[in-house]
Homo-oligomer: A and B are copies of this chain.
Amino acid sequence: MKRFRVRARSFQYSVVTGRGAWRALRAFGGAGYSSIFVMTEKALWQRWSKLFRRESGLRKARILFVPAGENSKSLRMAGQVAGELLECGADRRSLLIALGGGVVGDLGGFVASTYMRGIDLVQAPTTVVAQVDSAIGGKTGVNLGAMKNLIGTFHPPRIVVAEPIVLTSLEPRAFRSGLYEMVKHGMLAGSPLFDELEAKLGTLRPDDMTVLEPLLASAAKVKVDVVSRDEREARLRMALNLGHTFGHAIEEATGYRRFLHGEAIGWGLLVIIRLGERLKLLGQRDAERMARLVTKVGRLPPLRDLDPRKVLPLLSRDKKAIGGRIQWVIPERIGRVRIVTGIAPREVAAAFREVQKTPWPLGEAHA
């Protein structure tokens, strides 16, 4: 079990990661909260409630269920959860624990940050992406129509407790999907995380605790360091958007049905690596190592049939665009990225088409 510290200008909190992390919640039982709520999904709670209750010691916490899936990230659902909190007597000294993946973390964080103008929040992430990325950093959000996270807040949690045992109950595809975000962290951080991922990612299984735990911890540490140095969405934090400008566009173009979020980021990384090469910002050797690491995670759902004329116009709607200019995060080498604006649309289109046409390294025919 490891404990990292997010140190920003206006607040600090711990990120506890590894087997037994929920035990760090014992301190919250006697911390003077008027009531404690756990917001989660039914299937997850059925599988893990016993362990959670026992390890956290929070036996009296009330449970609020939200339906699984991206559709729960809406203003409507935020209002519904707030209404349930009110009915259960939640007040300004109540605590909300978001136990779940990205949807629960983003929605729970948004509710906690806006219920009576803000109550305390604990993030207890239960997916790979959430444990190494989305639960750390204080971002919350709900979608508006097709725009993901259009509405949200910054609301730092009191603590993040990332217990890896829950990953064993993920669908294999969902587990793998999260590994693409770990690859992103490896590309940002470089050695030793990148090298370790190269060595171990190909055969990684969720019950390989001895291998998985340190990788999760190292990947979480990347996020902790970035967030500590740059709480709001300034240039440094923008680096975390690596692969996301494209990833979001292909998610949207396919109605959020074809790709899991991490899978879309996987493709986004491949496109941005190719774009970096085309622009001569990134050397061939590093580009190949990075692309190989992405493909090592597993086969991605197909990209080939997507119409560039449908995908490319969606890019400029990226939330990180400023005055209509896309802020591209381009890898320069393993462990370093650069923010670039003003890239010619034809370069972007060409990189996209090249990735579409390249035969998948694992070979679709052999999968």
**Which residue numbers of A lie inside 8 Å of B, CB to CB?**
10, 34, 75-76, 78-79, 82-83, 86, 89, 91-93, 113-118, 139-141, 144-145, 147, 149-154, 233, 319-324
Contacts and interface: CB of A to CB of B under 8 A. Distances in A.
Contact of A82 (B117, B140, B150, B324): B150
Contacts of A320: 92
A149 B118 CA distance: 12
Pick from A10, A75, A118, A139 the residue with the most CB of B within 10 Å: A75
Nearest to A10: B10
| Number of copies of this chain that the complex holds | 2
Contacts of A139: 117
A66 to B, nearest CB: 16
Contact of A116 (B79, B93, B150): B150
A139 to B, nearest CB: 7
A151 B93 contact: no
B323 A117 contact: no
A147 B86 contact: yes
Contacts of A322: 34, 91-93
B151 A114 contact: yes
Given A78-B75, A144-B82, A144-B83, A324 B91 contact: yes
B93 A323 contact: yes
B151 A78 contact: yes
Contacts of A145: 83
A232 to B, nearest CB: 8
Given A78-B151, A114-B151, 8 more contacts: A75-B79, A86-B144, A91-B321, A92-B320, A93-B323, A114-B114, A117-B140, A118-B153
Pick from A34, A114, A319 the residue with the most CB of B within 10 Å: A114
B79 A152 contact: no
7 contacts: A78-B151, A83-B145, A114-B114, A114-B153, A115-B150, A117-B141, A153-B153
A86 B143 CA distance: 12
Contacts of A319: 91-92, 116
Nearest to A319: B116
A75 B113 CA distance: 14
Pick from A140, A152, A323 the residue with the most CB of B within 10 Å: A323
Nearest to A139: B117
A151 B115 CA distance: 5
A37 B147 CA distance: 20
A151 B118 contact: no
A333 to B, nearest CB: 29
B92 A233 contact: yes
A177 B157 CA distance: 40
A152 B83 contact: no
A145 B79 CA distance: 9
Nearest to A94: B323
Contacts of A150: 82, 86, 115-116
Contacts of A82: 144, 150-151
Contacts of A116: 150, 152, 319
A138 to B, nearest CB: 10
A294 to B, nearest CB: 28
B114 A152 contact: yes
Contacts of A10: 10
A102 B70 CA distance: 34
A167 B126 CA distance: 54
A120 to B, nearest CB: 13
